[in-house]
Amino acid sequence: MINKSLKELGAMLQGKEISSVELTQEYLNRINRLNPEINAYITIDAEKSLAQAKHADALLADGKSTALTGLPIAQKDIFVAKGWRTTCGSKMLEKFIGPYDADVIERFDGVGAVNLGKTNMDEFAMGSSNETSYFGKVQNPWDRTRVPGGSSGGSAAAVAARLCAAATGTDTGGSIRQPASLCGLSGLKPTYGLTSRFGMIAFASSLDQSGPMARSCEDMALMMNVMTGFDERDSTSLNRPKEDYTRDLNKPLAGLKVGLPKEFFAEGLSADVAKVVQDAIAEYKKLGAEIVDISLPNTKLSIPVYYVLAPAEASSNLSRYDGVRYGHRAKEYTDLMDMYCKSRAEGFGAEVKRRILIGTYVLSAGYYDAYYLKAQQIRRLIAQDFENAFKQCDIIMGPTAPSTAFKAGEKADDPVAMYLQDIYTIAVNLAGLPGMSIPAGFTQSTDGKRLPVGLQVIGNYFDEARMLNVGHAYQQATDWHTQMPEGIE
């Protein structure tokens, strides 16, 4: 049962082979057993989840169900959910109870899906290893001594360990794709503006986007059908006709032009990851794809640009946590200024503080032109690189991350090494393009563990249906995405 896809579980619910209450209970039992170690969830509320499951069973009985009705889905703890504790991985929001639903939560509730719980994440989505969470690190189910990636590491570990049927994530610089790569699952960051940011706690608003994390592209297509759509409460939400993301899943790939950027296969990419990615590309050739060599010349500038722009936006977004309206407030203080300072000093962790300091610095008078404005100009050049590339190819492929999962603690004291995890993913956010990671094989660690490798697939704006087709064709031809870590039975 736990290995079934959303589609298969949906069919079992429709066929009355199982009820949503039974299915939800089965996952809750697994969470009780495995989560104390894996730590993929921050908050579980069995009563709430089971009440939703009961409601779903009524919809199923009345013939009012759709594809995701009754399916247990884990929600990254960045989405505000009514009545649920919503922490964003921070002490600042340790006791915050959501007063309303984020648009994404509302959409899943609207089709009768079950919220199985809130997943662990790097504090305010800042990180690539889940080690910055106030609620403790998350284990990678493939090797418990390694990180699951971040910032959606809880969602990734939950999907990989079969502690949910699928999960949501958010991606500002790679936070859906990199953990999907490190945990051996499929993750998609849509074109900026396709999913609403309403109720999704803001990190860097011009980059943040939510998306599905699941075991297959077919499952992600079903989730995209629910998650996307115009929302007038988000000023950057796009008003476009609703799409069916399953529509092209079974198209043949013959004639597909796949661009390989030379900058993605250069220094910094580990040799065993490169080998897996090359094998995946060979498989695509067999499926009829044509390979084109392309260049994204400004790739190396994407990390420095991101670490000016994202902290700038974060410093502004996080100014709302001042201890006045909500969030942590220091117990003792002398005056208002002291209360602000102590509340923020106590409530935020080290990485968040580092970003606030950098962001405030680059936005300050005298430095604005030198850093922030310059970074915005280079952001434009990075977007133009992709514009040029898509004149030569339909889709871009390469590695998702430069390495497989690393050991917990290995990069925790070296922010620059940590930031380099996103060297292949960040440019996609800067350009607002859709990007996806799918399981492409394994490497062997020195201690004999199999570690998953992700293939990144980057599409042109609004080309998600084609990307899912590209991923699905590969998943029909290979079985990397169905493999399960040992010891989670």
Nearer to ligand GLN, 295 or 316 (CB): 316
If the CB atoms of residues 424 and 442 are measured against ligand GLN, the closer one turns out to be 424
Smallest separation (angstroms) from ligand GLN to the CB of 468: 21
Closest to ligand GLN by CB, 171 vs 218, is 171
In the block, residue with structure tokens 């220091």: 330
Alpha helices in 15-166 (DSSP H): 20-38, 46-61, 103-110, 153-160
- Could you say which of 90, 129, 175, 315 is catalytic? 175
Token pair listed for 36: 């104390």
Q: Which is nearer to ligand GLN, 151 or 475 (CB)?
A: 151
Strand order in the sheet with 450-459: 41-43, 114-119, 72-76, 166-171, 209-214, 186-189, 435-444, 450-459, 395-399, 257-261, 290-294
Residue type, 71: L
Min dist. Cβ of residue 148 to ligand GLN (A): 13
Q: How far is the CB of 207 from ligand GLN (least distance, A)?
A: 8
Distance of alpha carbon 318 from alpha carbon 356, whole angstroms: 8
**Residues within the interface to ligand GLN (CB under 6 A):** 125-128, 151, 171-175, 203, 310, 422
**Looking at this protein, which amino acid is placed at residue 88?**
C
The answer to whether 251 is a known catalytic residue is: no
Q: How far is the CB of 129 from ligand GLN (least distance, A)?
A: 9
- Catalytic: which of 76, 189, 411, 449? 76
151 is catalytic: yes
Catalytic entry in 65, 133, 151, 237: 151
Listed in sequence order, the DSSP H helices in 161-266 are 177-183, 217-227
DSSP labels, 38-67: H--EEE--HHHHHHHHHHHHHHHHTT---T
**Do the beta carbons of residue 472 and residue 250 sit within 8 Å?**
yes
Q: Are 226 and 108 in contact (CB under 8 A)?
A: yes
- Residue number, 411 or 481, with CB nearest to ligand GLN: 411
Any idea what the Cα angle at residue 479 is, between residues 488 and 190, rounded to 5°?
A: 90
CA angle 274–276–278, rounded 5-degree value: 65
Q: Is 175 a catalytic residue?
A: yes
Nearer to ligand GLN, 297 or 415 (CB): 415
Q: Is 341 left (phi over 0), alpha (psi -120 to 50) or beta?
A: alpha
Residue 20 amino acid letter: S
Q: Minimum distance from CB of 109 to ligand GLN (Å)?
A: 24
3-state secondary structure of 132: coil
The minimum distance between CB 311 and ligand GLN, in angstroms, equals 9
Report the nearest approach of ligand GLN to the CB of residue 156 (Å). Answer: 12
The whole-angstrom separation of Cα 344 and Cα 454 is 37
User: Minimum distance from CB of 175 to ligand GLN (Å)?
Assistant: 3
For ligand GLN, give the closer residue by CB, 170 or 469. Answer: 170
CA separation for the pair 369, 363 (Å, rounded): 9
393/427 with CB nearer ligand GLN: 427
Residues 6+ apart with CB under 8 A from 287: 253, 254, 473, 474, 477
User: How many C-beta atoms lie closer than 10 Å to residue 247's C-beta?
Assistant: 13
**Catalytic residue positions, numbered:** 76, 151, 175
